A and B are shown apart, each in its own frame.
Chain A
Amino acid sequence: MQTTKSVKPKAFIDGSRLITEACVLAGADVFVGYPITPANSLYLYATKRFPTMLAAPDEITTLQWMTGFATAGRVPVTATSFPGYALMVESINMAFMQELPMVIILVQRLGPATGTATCGAQGDLSVVNGTLSGGFTLPTFCISNLDDCWSLSAKAVETAVKLRTPVVLLTSKEMVMTLLSYDWSNLPEIKPTKMTEFKGEGQYFPYKAGDNLIPDFLPVTQTKHQVRVTASTHDTKGILQNVLPEAIENTKRLQKKQDKHLSEFTFFDLDEQAGAEALILSYDITAQAAREAAVKIRETGKKVSVLIAKTLLPIPMEYIEIANRYKRVVVAEENLTGQLRQMLFGVAGRKGVTGVNAIAKMISPNEIVEEVLRNEY
């Protein structure tokens, strides 16, 4: 009989539990939900954990209610899957223009359309990348394991609040629903983040930003300054304008503030092996298969590095820089055509870059190993 290596007790939990707890500890205090498989475990935990939980009659209302809550200074979260996300898109644009914080947890499932609700997928990155009209990006994080369910969820809330923007937390069915043994005795501490409020005495300009490009916030509950919130093109006072230069500069600022702060919310795991000429690049549910593939390749004496992308949007340039160090790059993701691969390397691709893709099944470590070793390097 083997002796057990560790007697430390572990919990048997799913990722949804960690995501929910982490969001609340990070300062989120309202969950608005509309049921959809496979995001329902998050909805269920939210009923137990969020100070306020509202059941909305549809996903458009969900986003509208969330935005309303945010005008009052609260920090809302929802969880959905592609069909619900599609309905939210215009309202996400609204909250983005209004600069109100919220987190949308997008639990991916097999599409297109209703597809198969109970089958996982990684098919929505392109949709998220195209959410905002006009070439703007929505800050998007992607969970790669249970540790991320904790830490990255907190970062999603923190980023939403600090940057005053909707943030997408991308995940998938197997990540939020699979039960795993997990040592949670040393979870990093999570502290709540609050929006910086305007403290000045003079007139309040709701969309006037300083060097950090993020305007100070005031809720619509306060009685000293007039607050204007708007989703149409507006000046720093929050008054609708056509295409006046001041208003267009304000709209451009929405992207600039992300770019300025991107380094503060760039998260990835890089496991580089000296002398390796191949890189496995992955994210979301396939990340664990990628990590395991690297173990298997190294067991054969061959060398390989692994990059797990956690900040997906805006795309950190580090990913390109890292990938350019390798002759061979294998991007593994559970969609048909390689969405991250095309975002990083274009439709034309790059010599030595190939993908491991699948739908309706998890990509296995062996498939990644085979692709990495397909052309000996």
Chain B
Amino acid sequence: MNIKPFLTEAELPFCKGCGHSSVAQNTEKALQKMNLDPLDVILVTDIGCHGIIDKNFLSHTVHGLHGRAVALAGGVAAGVNNSDKKIITFIGDGGATIGMQHLIGAAHMGFNITVVIHNNMLYGMTGGQPSEFTPCGFKTPTLPEGSAKAGYDICEIIASAGASYVQRVAGVGDYSDSLVNAFSAKGFSLVEVMEICPSYGVKSNPGMKLSKVIEDSGLAVKVFVDGRDKEYVTPIDSSPKSLISDKFNVDVKYSHNLSKPVSIMMSGSAGEGVQSAAEFLAKAAMTAGLHATKKGSYPVTVGVGFSASEVIISPEPILYTGSPVPDVLIITSVDGLNYAKAAAARMKGGLLLVDESLDVPQTGAKVVKFPFRERVGARNSAFYSIFWYLNNNNPFPIEALKDIFMNNKISEKVKIETMLQF
């Protein structure tokens, strides 16, 4: 067996007595036990003392943002998509605090990564502030009275999130076999290494032993999950279909009667076919050789409230797709009336087609009332209104709209004859 080094010969960059050094050494030992090649290992780190280890590793290294290494490593794993590669993520308890969702998410996904949390129970790089992992009673330079609350039991959290392997170890001595188990697991694995920061933790809690802190915190040093083997495989569709297809083409079959653009605003209620009817109208105009645009307006709750659509049909190409003052305004419901009042008021001419059940808004347009809802019901009132409009105004033949309607599955539910009773 040709055992390869994973660490350079340079001195490790951590303070004397820091558990981070032991993590690096145990990691190397574990990878050597697995007889891996350094270039089959990708170490993903982020911000915190632990993250400065990159330069000592002979594997590939990816160094990102504070608390985001787990998400970054998830992306690396999904991109690499090869479980023969070992993707190891080093984070601290600070990074685990800010990046908690990434940890839960990665375990949930089953990304093929091993996370090693260097839990020294405080933020060491910034002066010893408490993290959400600081145990109850544990003191730090900025919290000399000691933490009033317990730290997260990250192992319990990640075990319940669906990880394949989870273990907590005390960060002293040889725990490389634990790392071998984690590195060997399929899918997401996590090892929490308990440490005391020699610069801030030891000084703030003189005489306190790591074993005592672990015991007092009630955090079990044990394997929480083993053998779940849930592994994420990145889906790759090798031949997705083009979005460009002749089926979206609209053939020109009719001629039209327009010499200038006409903008038609339809305003009704969600669920009453306004958007579909507007699209039918635009496509029908295209079969008559016209250019067309259609844009919708509706609240974020698409299933309730108003639903409005603006259609422009034009013998010339359309540049600006807005129509602040419509030439034709069709209102088919109370919601639609409330939404379109302002547009109606702006109209100095043109046609306002309004359902007979509704009040007529203030407008300078010619007003025509018609019982759309009574004749065909609320759900089909928008469709009916555009048939009525074409029948009475004839910008292009009504046959064009019949074609579009008959080629749509709505014609199986709604008889076209009902749309043609004027």
CB within 8 Å of B: which A1-28 residues: 1-13, 17-18, 20-21, 24
Also in contact, A4 and B318, with CB within 8 A (given A51-B238, A90-B65, A231-B65): no
Q: Is the CB of A12 within 8 A of B289?
A: no
The interface residues of chain B lying within 8 Å CB-to-CB of A179 are 279, 282, 292-295
Q: Is the CB of A74 within 8 A of B68?
A: no
Also in contact, A61 and B102, with CB within 8 A (given A52-B236, A68-B79, A181-B292): yes
What is the CA–CA distance of A8 and B291 in the complex, to the nearest angstrom?
12
Q: Is the CB of A37 within 8 A of B72?
A: no
How many A residues touch B, CB cutoff 8 Å? 84
- Whether a CB of chain A sits under 8 angstroms from the CB of B225 is no
Q: Is the CB of A51 within 8 A of B237?
A: yes
Smallest beta-carbon distance B119→chain A, Å: 22
Q: Is the CB of B243 within 8 A of A9?
A: no
Also in contact, A181 and B293, with CB within 8 A (given A4-B288, A11-B250, A68-B78): yes
Q: Is the CB of A10 within 8 A of B250?
A: yes
Q: Is the CB of A65 within 8 A of B71?
A: yes
Q: Is the CB of A48 within 8 A of B300?
A: no
* Among B71, B234, B256, B279, contact of A61 (Cβ-Cβ < 8 Å): B71
What is the CA–CA distance of A172 and B63 in the complex, to the nearest angstrom?
34
Q: Is the CB of A65 within 8 A of B74?
A: yes
What is the CA–CA distance of A8 and B319 in the complex, to the nearest angstrom?
19
CB within 8 Å of B: which A289-335 residues: 289, 291-292, 295
Q: Is the CB of B300 within 8 A of A9?
A: no
Smallest beta-carbon distance A177→chain B, Å: 7
- Whether a CB of chain A sits under 8 angstroms from the CB of B258 is yes
- Whether a CB of chain A sits under 8 angstroms from the CB of B406 is no
What is the CA–CA distance of A70 and B102 in the complex, to the nearest angstrom?
19
- Whether a CB of chain B sits under 8 angstroms from the CB of A71 is yes
* Interface residue stretch chosen among A192-200, A221-229, A252-260: A221-229
Q: Is the interface of A mostly helix, strand, loop or mixed?
A: mixed
Q: Is the CB of B75 within 8 A of A180?
A: no
- Whether a CB of chain B sits under 8 angstroms from the CB of A66 is yes
Q: Is the CB of B243 within 8 A of A49?
A: yes
Smallest beta-carbon distance A36→chain B, Å: 11
- Whether a CB of chain B sits under 8 angstroms from the CB of A239 is yes
- Whether a CB of chain A sits under 8 angstroms from the CB of B240 is yes
Smallest beta-carbon distance A68→chain B, Å: 2
Also in contact, A52 and B237, with CB within 8 A (given A57-B101, A220-B80): yes
- Whether a CB of chain B sits under 8 angstroms from the CB of A124 is no
* Among A4, A67, A73, A239, contact of B72 (Cβ-Cβ < 8 Å): A67
CB within 8 Å of A: which B282-319 residues: 282-283, 286, 288-300, 315, 318-319
* Among B82, B290, B299, B321, contact of A178 (Cβ-Cβ < 8 Å): B321
- Whether a CB of chain B sits under 8 angstroms from the CB of A208 is no
- Whether a CB of chain B sits under 8 angstroms from the CB of A267 is no
- Whether a CB of chain B sits under 8 angstroms from the CB of A265 is no
Q: Is the CB of B74 within 8 A of A68?
A: yes
The interface residues of chain B lying within 8 Å CB-to-CB of A122 are none
- Whether a CB of chain A sits under 8 angstroms from the CB of B39 is yes
* Among A2, A50, A174, contact of B255 (Cβ-Cβ < 8 Å): A2
What is the CA–CA distance of A61 and B242 in the complex, to the nearest angstrom?
28
What is the CA–CA distance of A238 and B80 in the complex, to the nearest angstrom?
20
- Whether a CB of chain A sits under 8 angstroms from the CB of B76 is yes
What is the CA–CA distance of A48 and B292 in the complex, to the nearest angstrom?
26
> Which of B60, B74, B82, B300: most chain A Cβ within 10 A?
B60
Q: Is the CB of A17 within 8 A of B243?
A: yes
Measured CB to CB, the nearest residue on chain A to B295 is: A178
- Whether a CB of chain B sits under 8 angstroms from the CB of A91 is yes
Q: Is the CB of A230 within 8 A of B63?
A: yes
- Whether a CB of chain A sits under 8 angstroms from the CB of B25 is no
What is the CA–CA distance of A2 and B257 in the complex, to the nearest angstrom?
5
What is the CA–CA distance of A68 and B234 in the complex, to the nearest angstrom?
13
Also in contact, A181 and B286, with CB within 8 A (given A1-B255, A21-B244, A52-B235): yes
Q: Is the CB of A240 within 8 A of B54?
A: yes
Q: Is the CB of A292 within 8 A of B320?
A: yes
Q: Is the CB of B52 within 8 A of A240?
A: yes
Q: Is the CB of B243 within 8 A of A71?
A: no
Q: Is the CB of B58 within 8 A of A187?
A: no
* Among B85, B243, B286, contact of A221 (Cβ-Cβ < 8 Å): B85
6 A-B pairs with the lowest CB-CB distances in the bound complex, closest first: A68-B75, A4-B289, A72-B79, A64-B71, A65-B75, A230-B63
* Given A3-B255, A61-B101, A292-B320, 7 other A-B residues pairs in contact with their CB atoms under 8 A: A65-B74, A65-B78, A174-B321, A180-B321, A181-B290, A223-B37, A240-B63
Q: What residues make up the interface of A, taking CB atoms closer than 8 Å to B?
A: 1-13, 17-18, 20-21, 24, 30, 32, 37, 45, 48-54, 57-58, 60-61, 64-74, 90-91, 94, 98, 117-118, 145, 174, 177-181, 184, 187, 220-232, 238-240, 288-289, 291-292, 295, 361-362, 364-365
Q: What residues make up the interface of B, taking CB atoms closer than 8 Å to A?
A: 37-40, 42, 47, 52, 54-55, 58-65, 68, 71-82, 85, 101-102, 105, 234-238, 240-244, 248-252, 254-259, 279, 282-283, 286, 288-300, 315, 318-322, 324
